[in-house]
A and B are shown apart, each in its own frame.
Chain A
Amino acid sequence: MIEVESVYYDYNGHRALIDVSVSFKTGNIYVLMGENGAGKSTLLKHLNGILKPKSGRVLVEGVDTREATVAELCRKVGLVFQNPELQFFCETVFKEVAFGPENLGLDSATVKSRVENALRVVGLTGFEERVPWSLSGGEMRRLALASILSMEPKYLALDEPTVGQDRFSKENLKALIWRFKGMGKCVIIATHDIEWVYDLKPDEIILMSHGRIVAQGPPWEILNDNELLKRCNLVKPILLTLCDSLKLPLKSSTPSVTELAQKIRKRIGEEFVLSRGF
């Protein structure tokens, strides 16, 4: 478990986190949402010790991040940044992904298999000898993810992972996150991509605003609270807006496209009439 206890942090007096307390348990998927500048990225950077609280503390499996080095924490907590190209420094994709496991002192056979596995998982098999900076924006983000996955961290923190990703990559990412959950790992994602969060169905959504946590709960509860969403510069996912307009009962759920199509089909003729044209 990662425990964040009453954390305060500021950038030269500009307050970024104020009295933030939250815990992240293994086997769960958490999504952090909130307005631009709400403190999401700052919170993620506290999880692997890149930033240390100015007051309060962060415990990673009982270890205070102020008493451990970033190198030690990185074995447990993998953080994939918002801007991946700032993270690359090796001349090939293979070397980039191998760097972490090599530094863990693993033998070359294990390193190779970890690299192959990580590249396969993110769909970059065949890119081994490419120069990282020659990749497209979306591919760079997936490379950044692979270079963290090869470390096999127990906690995975992702900052805006869907940016630049096409539909299939987003679906793959969703499947990957659920596989991590199935392996008993913990995934913490900061994102603005509310439509993707709707599809992801995380265990909990944590809403932040002006450096504070303002709400935490399951998706259907958070995503249906108009007042709360507005306060955090968020907008209801389009399918929930449609459900509202069609007065469809939700019963504490967030229906998928498939479920929604079924619900609509059942009601045609009874509640709705279908006019063909526009």
Chain B
Amino acid sequence: MSIVFKDASFRYANSKKWAVKSLSFRIEPGEKVLISGPSGSGKSTICRMINGLIPHFYEGEFKGVVEINGLDTRNVRVARLSRDVGLVFQNPENQLVALSVEREISFGLENLGIKREEILRRIDWVLRLFNIERLRKRLIHELSGGEKQLVILAAIVAMKPKILVLDEPTAELDPANSIRLVNMINELSFKLGLTVVIVEQRVDLIAPIVDRVLVLEEGEIIAYGRPWEVYSIDKVYNSGSAIPKLVELYYELQRVGVNIDRPALTVEEFLEVLRFK
């Protein structure tokens, strides 16, 4: 499913500042896009505009058009949109509704009117997919922050959305689980043709797998393109937006007179540029 923003702006009620200003961009079906930018630059606002929470739930002034699969979000109910758009919030605590892990995953499925046998099949599937079968019977409030994050993701993926919007999905995951998650997102997107929008500050893992990076500053787009293109732009480097470590190294090498065509995003790519004699 495609996501299209046409000159879209939003200002929260009681705020003088526009959270996002005149955003125009397009995300094609099946693409993976990383949204980056300093805190308060409008990343979470874009997520809420994609799943219709803006303008339906958040009060404020909305201008322009946001289209999901060709449908104007202003004319579609959030309940309808949420069938296609799965959003995982920044803070897992705000999104958990049930007492146990199993109940949490079945909650959304029951609301979609899915039959009991299918619900059980999907629970088995996602618990295995996320490697959290051991948590099945555990109580939500006893889980660690990272475990909660995995449970919410599992609950969302169980609903088989067409668009997955993730607001800092690896924030509370340990590095091995972060890698597992990133690989899983890659796989899900490939297998199911899922469109994925990820907001993330820890970009070292995400940047190599996404098709494009969109960088925001003060609610406006300052760059949108392929990762290596975006990270070659000085304005992005100077913006305070998260930058992969290897891109920092690219700039540092430039400073000491070692010029490379474009930044590498993985160690393997780096070794293509710098070879042993």
| Chain A proximity of B157: nearest CB distance (Å) | 18
Instruction: Judge if B14 is at the interface, Cβ distance under 8 Å.
Output: yes
The answer to whether A241 and B267 touch (CB under 8 A), given A36-B144, A166-B201, A274-B274, is yes
Which residues on A sit within 8 Å (CB–CB) of B175? 192, 194, 233-235
Residue of B nearest to A141 (CB): B39
Stretch of B114-122, B188-196, B254-262 contacting A (4+ beta carbons < 8 Å): B254-262
C-alpha gap A36/B201 in the complex (Å): 19
In the complex, the answer to whether B178 meets A192 with C-beta atoms within 8 Å is yes
Q: Which of B24-32, B69-77, B240-248 contacts A (4 or more CB under 8 A)?
A: B240-248
Closest to B145 in A: A82
Instruction: Decide: A261 near B253, CB < 8 A? Known: A164-B39, A235-B176, A273-B277.
Output: yes
A85 touches B39 (CB 8 A): no
Q: How far apart are the CA atoms of A11 and B172 in the complex, in Å?
A: 20
State the CA gap A22–B112 with chains docked (Å). Answer: 50
**Size band of the interface chain A makes with B:** 35 or more
Contact A257-B249, Cβ < 8 Å, known A138-B39, A192-B173: yes
Per-position 1/0 for A55-85, Cβ under 8 A of B: 0000000000000000000000000001101
Cβ of A103 under 8 Å from chain B: no
**Residue from B14, B176, B241, B246 within 8 A of A167 (CB atoms):** B241
Instruction: Tell me, rounded to whole Å, the shortest Cβ–Cβ distance linking B42 to chain A.
Output: 9
A residues 162-220 near B (Cβ < 8 Å) are 162-170, 192-195
In the complex, the answer to whether A136 meets B40 with C-beta atoms within 8 Å is yes
Most chain B Cβ neighbours within 10 Å, of A14, A41, A166: A166
- Decide yes or no whether B44 CB sits under 8 A from chain A: yes
Q: Which of A160, A165, A261, A268 contacts B172 (CB 8 A)?
A: A160
Task: Kindly supply a per-residue 1/0 record for chain A positions 234-278, scoring 1 wherever the CB is within 8 Å of any chain B CB and 0 otherwise.
Answer: 110111011001110000000001101110110010111111111
Residues in B whose Cβ lies below 8 Å from that of A232 = 174
Smallest Cβ distance from A227 to chain B, in angstroms? 14
